[in-house]
Amino acid sequence: MNTVLALSGVVIKEMCRRKDFYVLFVLTAVITLVMGSVNFFGDAKIVRYLKDICLLLIWISALVIAITTTARQIPAERESRTIFPLLAKPVSRGQVILGKFLGCWLACGMALLVFYVFFGVISGSREHEWPFLQYFQAFWLQWTMLGVVVGMVLLGSVVFTAPSSNATILFIVVVGIIALGRHLNQVALQQPEPLGTLVYAVYFLIPHLEWYDVRDLVIYNQHQLGWLDCGLATVYAAAYVAMLLFATGMVFRRKSLNL
């Protein structure tokens, strides 16, 4: 465990010292503030469009951070050969995977927290209320979802050779699931038979990341989620993460380290 934590510490340090996060955060903040300063028919109470834009930017940024950070981890270790002195230590390849996962996930969580604090300040300054628990739920669910994304990208990074193609493919897949995953069963029913079953199987197989997108509930001041539902969603994500990490470990164990 100590080894895994040490490995994740390196990933977090890397993220802190790279510019990606700061660039995305500043971009989000600037766009939000500019949009916030626009005057719509002289009504200062209008706020939801701002929450909408801010959350959209947060979602995009978080996905970009999670995917790019994770996608380069293992290829970079191999390319710069840092994997050799590392594996010469009493570290198993499984621990490397676990450490990388934990590091990326924690790093994403930290970045996400900063984003959400900003969001809270912006929306709170307009609405004069802080539904803290709801924001926390939204944060938690998004973070959980990012765990699954990190797991997927990690698996991708040992399967695909080029980190950039891995990142692109996974980005499309993740956005695709978030946008369409909900409706695949409906699509399946409209297909002719062999295809319909196939689509339905895909529907049951993919991690349903769209659940974790509760932006609408936050933007439109809807009901708070049940904690049980949050818990179940967390368990569901954890199961997928475990499966993805296991698969990653299996592939990585067989992989030759030489380029």
Partner 1 sequence: MMDAIVELKNLRVEFKAQNSGQGRKVAVKDLNLRVEAGEVFGFLGPNGAGKTTTMNVLLGFVNATSGSAFLFGVNVCEPIARQRIGYLPEMTYYYKFLTAEELLRFYARIFGLSRLEADRRIDQLLKLVELESVRKRPIKTYSKGMQQRVGLAQALINNPDLLILDEPTSGLDPIGRMKVREIIQRLKSEGKTIFFSSHELGEVETVCDRVAIINQGELKAEGRVVDLVEKHQANLEKIFLKIIGYEPQVSA
Partner 2 sequence: MRKPAPYFILVLLAAVCFSVATYLEPRVADWNKRGQSGSVLKLLLGDGRRLFANHFFVKADVSFHSGYYPSIFDQRKAPKGSRHMTAKEGEPEEEEHERQMNFLDQPKDWIERFGRHFMVTEHTHLQGGDEREILPWLRVSADLDPQRVDTYTVAAYWLRDLGKVKEAEDFLHEGLRNNPNSYEILFELGRLYYQNYHDIVRARNVWELALRKWFGQESGKKEADLLQFEQIAVNLGRLEEQAGNYERSVALLELARKASPNPAALQLQIDDLKQKIVVRPPPASSTSR
Interface residue list for partner 1 (CB under 8 A): 2-3, 5-7, 9-10, 13-14, 17-18, 80-82, 84-92, 256-258
How far is the C-alpha of 36 from the C-alpha of 94, rounded, in Å?
47
Q: How far is the CB of 7 from partner 2 (least distance, A)?
A: 33
Q: How far is the CB of 86 from partner 1 (least distance, A)?
A: 8
Residue 227 in the binding site for partner 2 (CB under 8 A): no
| Interface positions, 108-147, toward partner 2 (CB under 8 A) | 141
How far is the C-alpha of 259 from the C-alpha of 82, rounded, in Å?
13
Residue 40 in the binding site for partner 2 (CB under 8 A): yes
DSSP summary character for residue 78: H
Q: Residue 96, class by beta-carbon neighbours within 10 Å (0-12 exposed, 13-18 middle, 19+ buried)? A: buried
How far is the C-alpha of 139 from the C-alpha of 76, rounded, in Å?
29
Half-sphere exposure of 122 (CA within 13 A, CB side): 28
Letters for 199-218 (x = contact with partner 2 by CB under 8 A, - = none) are ----xx---x-xxxxx-xx-
Residue 42 in the binding site for partner 2 (CB under 8 A): yes
How far is the C-alpha of 29 from the C-alpha of 228, rounded, in Å?
33
- Choose the binding region for partner 2 from 21-29, 38-46, 66-74, 121-129 (rule: CB under 8 A): 38-46
Helix, strand, coil percent values for the chain (each to nearest 5): 80, 0, 20
How far is the C-alpha of 12 from the C-alpha of 108, rounded, in Å?
9
Among 6, 29, 46, 83, binds partner 2 (CB under 8 A): 46
Lookup: tokens for 239: 């199961």
Instruction: Tell me whether residue 1 or residue 205 sits nearer to partner 1 (CB atom).
Output: 1
Count of residues binding partner 2 (CB under 8 A)? Answer: 36
- Where do contacts with partner 2 occur on this chain (CB under 8 A)? 38, 40-43, 45-49, 52, 141, 182-183, 185-187, 189, 203-204, 208, 210-214, 216-217, 219-220, 222, 225-226, 229, 232-233
